[in-house]
Amino acid sequence: MRALRGCWTALPLLFAFSNNAAAQDSRPVAATTAAPASSPVDFSADVVTYDSEADLLTAEGRVRMDRDGYYVAADKVEWSRRSGAVVASGSVVLLSPEGDRVIGERVVLTDSLRDGTIENLLVVLDTGGRIAADRAVRRDGRTTLQNAVYSACPVVGDKGCPKRPSWSISAAQVVQDPANNRIRFRGGRLHLFGVSLPLLPIFSVNTGNGGGATGALIPDISISASNGFEVSLPYYFRLAPNRDLTITPHLYTKNVPGIEARFRNLNSLGAFQVGAFLTYGTVAETDPAATISVERKRVRAYIEANGKAQFSPEWGLTTSIRAATDKTVTRRYDLTRDDRLRSYINLERITPDAYVSIAGWAFQGLRVDDVQKQIPIALPAIDARLRVPSPVIGGMLELQANSLAILRLEGQDTQRAFASAKWETRRITRWGQEVALTAYARGDVYHTDESGDTSVAIYRGTDGWHGRAIGALAADVRWPLVGPLLGGLQRLTPRVQLVITPNTNNFDIPNEDARAVDLEDSNLFALNRFPGYDRWEDSSRVTYGVEWALDRPNWSVQTVVGQSYRLSRRPTIFPDGTGLTDRLSDVVGKTRVRFGRLVDLTHRFRLDKDTAAVRRNEVDLTFGTDLTYAQIGYLRLNRDISSEVEDLRDKEELRLAGRLQFARYWSVFGATVVDLTDTEEDPLSLSDGFQWVRHRFGINYEDECLDLGLSWKRDYERIGDFRKGSTFSLHLAFKGLGR
**pLDDT score of 571:** 78
Share of the chain above pLDDT 90, in %: 49
CA distances to 248, 520, 738 from 216, rounded to whole Å, are 10, 52, 11
Q: Mean pLDDT lowest for which of 58-72, 126-140, 214-228?
A: 126-140
- What string of H, E and C letters represents the secondary structure of 315-337? EEEEEEEEEECCCCHHHHCCCCC
| pLDDT band with cut points at 50, 70 and 90 for residue 210 | low
Mean of pLDDT over the chain: 85
Over residues 120-139, mean pLDDT: 80
**pLDDT score of 264:** 96
Over residues 202-227, mean pLDDT: 76
More confident residue, 737 or 479: 479
**pLDDT score of 670:** 96
Top mean pLDDT of 38-47, 470-479, 670-679 is at 470-479
Q: Mean pLDDT lowest for which of 342-356, 410-424, 681-695?
A: 681-695
**pLDDT score of 423:** 95
| pLDDT band with cut points at 50, 70 and 90 for residue 720 | low
Q: Is the pLDDT of residue 36 over 50?
A: no
In a domain, 184, yes or no: yes
**pLDDT score of 437:** 96
Q: Is the pLDDT of residue 37 over 50?
A: no
**pLDDT score of 573:** 85
Query: What pTM was computed for the model?
Result: 0.79
Residues forming a β-bridge with 173: 146, 186
**pLDDT score of 550:** 95
pLDDT tens-digit readout, 620-638: 999 999 899 999 999 999 8
| pLDDT band with cut points at 50, 70 and 90 for residue 499 | very high
Over residues 284-299, mean pLDDT: 67
Q: Which residues contact 648 (CB under 8 A, 6 or more apart)?
A: 515, 516, 517, 518, 575, 577, 578, 639, 641
| pLDDT band with cut points at 50, 70 and 90 for residue 369 | confident
Contact 358, 382 (CB under 8 A): yes
In a domain, 619, yes or no: no
Over residues 671-688, mean pLDDT: 81
Contact 703, 665 (CB under 8 A): yes
Q: Is the pLDDT of residue 697 over 60?
A: yes
pLDDT tens-digit readout, 63-108: 888 877 788 888 888 888 777 778 888 888 888 777 778 888 888 8
**pLDDT score of 496:** 98
Q: Could you give phi then psi for residue 388, rounded to 5 degrees?
A: -135, 145
Q: Is the pLDDT of residue 259 over 80?
A: yes
Q: Is the pLDDT of residue 610 over 60?
A: yes
Q: Which residues contact 533 (CB under 8 A, 6 or more apart)?
A: 402, 416, 418, 444, 513, 514
Share of the chain above pLDDT 70, in %: 89
Domains contained in the chain, number: 1
Contact 32, 86 (CB under 8 A): no
More confident residue, 91 or 274: 274
**pLDDT score of 22:** 34
Over residues 481-485, mean pLDDT: 93
In a domain, 131, yes or no: yes
pLDDT tens-digit readout, 527-547: 999 999 999 998 899 999 999
In a domain, 221, yes or no: no
Query: Which residues span the domain enclosing 127?
Result: 42-194
Over residues 196-205, mean pLDDT: 74
Contact 175, 133 (CB under 8 A): no
Q: Is the pLDDT of residue 38 over 90?
A: no
pLDDT tens-digit readout, 417-427: 999 999 999 99
Of the candidates 516, 415, 500, the residue with the CA atom closest to the CA atom of residue 458: 516
Q: Is the pLDDT of residue 109 over 50?
A: yes
In a domain, 595, yes or no: no
**pLDDT score of 208:** 58
**pLDDT score of 471:** 95
What is the number of alpha carbons within 13 Å of residue 147 lying toward its C-beta?
6
**pLDDT score of 231:** 93
Map residue 296 onto helix, strand or coil. Answer: strand
Contact 421, 386 (CB under 8 A): no
pLDDT tens-digit readout, 591-603: 999 998 899 999 9
**pLDDT score of 288:** 57
Sort 165 into a burial class: Cβ within 10 Å, 0-12 / 13-18 / 19+. Answer: buried
In a domain, 61, yes or no: yes
**pLDDT score of 112:** 66
The whole-angstrom distance between residue 343's C-alpha and the CA centroid of its chain comes to 19
In a domain, 185, yes or no: yes
Of the candidates 48, 45, 55, 49, the residue with the CA atom closest to the CA atom of residue 25: 55
| pLDDT band with cut points at 50, 70 and 90 for residue 116 | confident
Cα–Cα distance between 634 and 655 in angstroms, integer?
6
Over residues 302-323, mean pLDDT: 96
In a domain, 444, yes or no: no
> How many C-beta atoms lie closer than 10 Å to residue 492's C-beta?
15
Report the CATH number that the domain containing residue 94 is assigned in CATH. Answer: 2.60.450.10
